[in-house]
Structure 1
Amino acid sequence: MNRAALFDVDGTLADTNHLHVTSWWEAFRQAGHDVAMHDIHRAIGLPGEDLLAHLLGKDRDAEEDGALSAAHDTLYGTYFDRLPPLESAADLLRELDGRGWSVVLVTSARQTELDALLRALDADGAVTATASADDVEQGKPAPDPVHHALGLADAPARGSVFVGDTVWDMRAGTSAGVICVGLLCGGIPRADLDDAGARAVYRNPADLLAHLDASPFGATGGRRT
């Protein structure tokens, strides 16, 4: 039976959450919206349209969504040639691949962003497949992206593990019936990840790799908080 190791990318494998925060903040500022960076940070991980609804309200002028998203994409795109992977992110993916896990990246990023992230991670040989926001109708926290990723890996939810850094990741994974592991490197508090369904929480990819055997990826499947 295949086992899927599912990974969010922004904030989980790449240190990019605050680049997104800055890009969205500037996009909002240019359009005349005063949105606090703290609030933007807590919304990172949602697909663009859902992020805008979360921050500006469902009664916003939705006709402005395209321009706001385009402004964010243009600003964030200036970082494409220097997106920073988190410590040991590629080593973690290679180790899991070597242990027989099917590694699938599950992200709310569009394909252009995902391509830049893949170049930054430099772990293509360890990645079985990728699932981007372009592949599903509903993004996280809906379970659709996780279900799609499981299909790409030809793996059941039972025994598969989803690693992410936001409450949206934990809720999506929990709804899909997979084991959820939270990482603190995206800046979301441990208690929030726990409340959203994390089975275990680690500081970053390096910490998870160092304790892999005692994690849900290992034989003991222990909890680390």
Structure 2
Amino acid sequence: MTESTIAVLDIDGTLIDSNYQHALAWFRALRSVGETYPIWRLHRLIGMGGDQLLTELGGPDLERRVGDRVREEQGKQVDALIEEMVPLPGARELLIAIKQRGHRLVLASSGQQRHVEIFLDKLAARDIVDGWTTSDDVENSKPAPDLLQVALKKLSAPQDAPSVMIGDSVWDVESAKRAEMPAIVVRSGGFGDDELRDAGAVALYDTPGDLAEALGDTPLA
């Protein structure tokens, strides 16, 4: 790939250590409407868009009965936990390293706008990245490819522009596959290496900082 490669990075769980708090927020939101599911099952779905998570968890009936209420409450629960969500080791350094290699950089999040704004501040990333997305930008969230395609549009880039996705979950890898992007993954999503490789991840790293040090061995070389 060339200097004009676009790096599309997930925020939640990839740059910000937030997956387990999100699982707890979904657990509490579901309990508030009388539905209880094991947190491990919820954790396995973190990274999938909130518009699809409840159907995947409990089928169309769960979504029909409580979907909108649970999503609203989940957002409030995230509000209560967001101060506990901090950048993962080397997250900002990864953004800087990508830019120093001459690549364009866009953060692709399907999170609520107020949460994305807070994460941008936690990363001090506004002056580094070329753009970012929120849930307001897409109708279909991951594992659909829409979010990654919108991320490219944020940079006025064609859909076939050289690009690579960096995420933390099998849902990120699946979304990248559908968008025809190679996917690099950090292990903070809590998925097994075999799951991530089977999904199509081209490389795995423990932390964003580890990836920053190894960029020369990736499609962002």
TM-score by length of 1: 0.91
Q: Distance in 2 between matches of 1:82 and 1:54?
A: 27
Within 5 Å, give how 1:131-146 maps onto structure 2: 131-146=133-148
- The residue type equivalent to 2:180 in the other structure is G
* 1:195 and 2:192 aligned: no
Within 5 Å, give how 1:35-74 maps onto structure 2: 35-60=37-62, 62-74=64-76
Within 5 Å, give how 1:66-215 maps onto structure 2: 66-156=68-158, 157=160, 159-215=162-218
- Does structure 2 retain, via aligned residues, the 8 Å contact 1:146–1:172? yes
Identity %: 33
- The residue type equivalent to 1:193 in the other structure is L
Provide the residue aligned with 1:34 in structure 2. Answer: 36
| Number of matched pairs | 218
Instruction: Let me know the Cα RMSD of the aligned residues.
Output: 1.5
| Cα deviation 1:144-201 (Å, max 9, x = unaligned) | 1111111222345453110001111101111111111111012111111111111111
- The residue type equivalent to 1:114 in the other structure is V
Q: Distance in 2 between matches of 1:103 and 1:50?
A: 27
Displacement of 1:82: 4.3
More off after superposition, 1-10 vs 171-180: 1-10
TM-score by length of 2: 0.93
Q: Distance in 2 between matches of 1:147 and 1:73?
A: 25
Q: CA 1:58–1:104 in structure 2 vs 1: closer, same or farther (change >3 Å)?
A: same
Query: Gaps spanning 5+ residues in structure 1: where?
Result: 219-225
Partner-residue secondary structure (3-state), 1:57: helix
